[in-house]
Amino acid sequence: MAPKVGDELPDSTLYEGSPGGAVKIRELFAGKKGVIVGVPGAFTPTCSKTHLPSYISNFDKLKEAGADVVVTVSVNDPFVMEAWGESLGVGDKVRMLADTRCEFTKAVDLSFDATPFLGNERSQRYAMLVVDNVIKAVNVEASPGEATCSLADPVVELLKAM
Amino acid sequence: MAPKVGDELPDSTLYEGSPGGAVKIRELFAGKKGVIVGVPGAFTPTCSKTHLPSYISNFDKLKEAGADVVVTVSVNDPFVMEAWGESLGVGDKVRMLADTRCEFTKAVDLSFDATPFLGNERSQRYAMLVVDNVIKAVNVEASPGEATCSLADPVVELLKAM
């Protein structure tokens, strides 16, 4: 399950910083090109050691390829997301957005039941390319533990082709 | 709401470390005296700057007063709990236990609805004194944002009197 290419982004609110200021995802991508990186969990190994670092280290390539904005979305609270961003040294490169109540993730049909290990519904691992609030591509990993098609390199190529 | 003094600890499983080994709370407190420190959220300001640090800096006093074991319980996943413990430098003083699915917290009747800000049910802020799996005292804060009766100092006094 995933949103269809051509769908508009939902009118969802995410949260950033401590105690978590509201960020309307459609305001962020209005007239902009960028990437939404969905991850299952802050501080989990694949997200922290492979997935997010690929976007931090390739940030300049993403900008050159046309990305105005790069955000990470995870179903964690904003306090955890901020701490995770600091631990990864995201600086002002990748915005760490908390989908506190799993509302955005469900709206784009990318949640999965992670109750046994993480306690609740979480986000699948994906990279979503968005141009002016329209979804142009979605690379969803076959399982949340994998990080291949959602890494920064294939996303740079997709951005270049757009 | 809170458990009654004299109640037995529930037969709950918590999770510790990454990816989260099972810890049976009754095995931890069998024949032992100690403290369970309940907190609303890893990386939240009161928990990180006031509450947990009081247990780390007063750890020797807690041991001298008779505590064999000091644990923190929060409704976060074990990856977040481990990262939080590392950021606070808990070392081997305070064990960071994830109540991933809010099972222990509900079993001791100390959950509250934190959906608006943290996304799910969380733990109230409390300190619970336990001797050989029997609850001997529970200091619950009037609101989760406060940290007074559940700090280490009053708990040291309670331990001495036991």
**Residue B109, Cβ density class (10 Å: 0-12 exposed, 13-18 middle, ≥19 buried):** middle
Nearest to A104 by CA among A4, A5, A20, A3: A3
Other CB atoms within 10 A of residue A25 CB = 23
B 126-145 residues with CB below 8 A of A? none
Q: Is the pLDDT of residue A2 over 90?
A: no
Rounded CA separation A144/B140 (Å): 38
Q: Which positions in chain A touch B84 (Cβ < 8 Å)?
A: 83
Rounded CA separation B47/B15 (Å): 19
Query: For residue B162, what are its two tokens?
Result: 């036991």
Q: Which positions in chain A touch B18 (Cβ < 8 Å)?
A: 43-45
Contacts of A160 (CB under 8 A, 6+ apart): A65, A66
Is A103 near chain B, with CB under 8 Å? no
Q: In the annotation, is A149 catalytic?
A: no
Bridge-partner residues for A69, per DSSP? A34
Three-state SS for chain A is: CCCCCCCECCCCEEEECCCCEEEEHHHHCCCCEEEEEEECCCCCHHHHHHHHHHHHHCHHHHHHCCCCEEEEEECCCHHHHHHHHHHHCCCCCCEEEECCCCHHHHHCCCEEECHHHHCCEEECCEEEEEECCEEEEEEECCCCCCCCCCCHHHHHHHHHCC
Distance of CA B46 to the CA centre of its chain: 14
Query: For residue B161, what are its two tokens?
Result: 């009197």
Determine whether the interchain pair B117/A77 forms a contact, defined as Cβ–Cβ distance below 8 Å. yes
Tens of pLDDT, residue by residue over B101-157, are 999 999 999 999 999 999 999 999 999 999 999 999 999 999 999 999 999 999 999
Other CB atoms within 10 A of residue A65 CB = 19
When scoring B15, B18, B39, B43 by the number of chain A Cβ atoms within 10 A, the one with the most, hence best to mutate, is B43
Mean pLDDT of A130-151: 95
Cβ(B110)–Cβ(B124) below 8 Å: yes
Which domains does chain A possess?
Answer: 13-160 (3.40.30.10)
Tens of pLDDT, residue by residue over B79-108, are 999 999 999 999 999 999 999 999 999 999
Nearest to B26 by CA among B125, B102, B121, B97: B97
Of A20, A79, A119, the CB nearest to B77: A119
Q: Is the pLDDT of residue B1 over 80?
A: no
Catalytic residue, from B35, B39, B47, B155: name it.
B47
Nearest to B107 by CA among B32, B9, B5: B9
Is B41 near chain A, with CB under 8 Å? yes
Contacts of B21 (CB under 8 A, 6+ apart): B15
How far is CA B93 from each of CA A60, A147, B76, B104, B151, rounded to the nearest angstrom?
Answer: 42, 35, 19, 21, 16
Bridge-partner residues for A87, per DSSP? none
Is B82 near chain A, with CB under 8 Å? yes
Q: Is the pLDDT of residue A106 over 90?
A: yes
3-state secondary structure of B92: coil
Bridge-partner residues for A139, per DSSP? A127
For residue A63, what pLDDT band results from cuts at 50, 70 and 90? Answer: very high
For residue B162, what pLDDT band results from cuts at 50, 70 and 90? Answer: confident
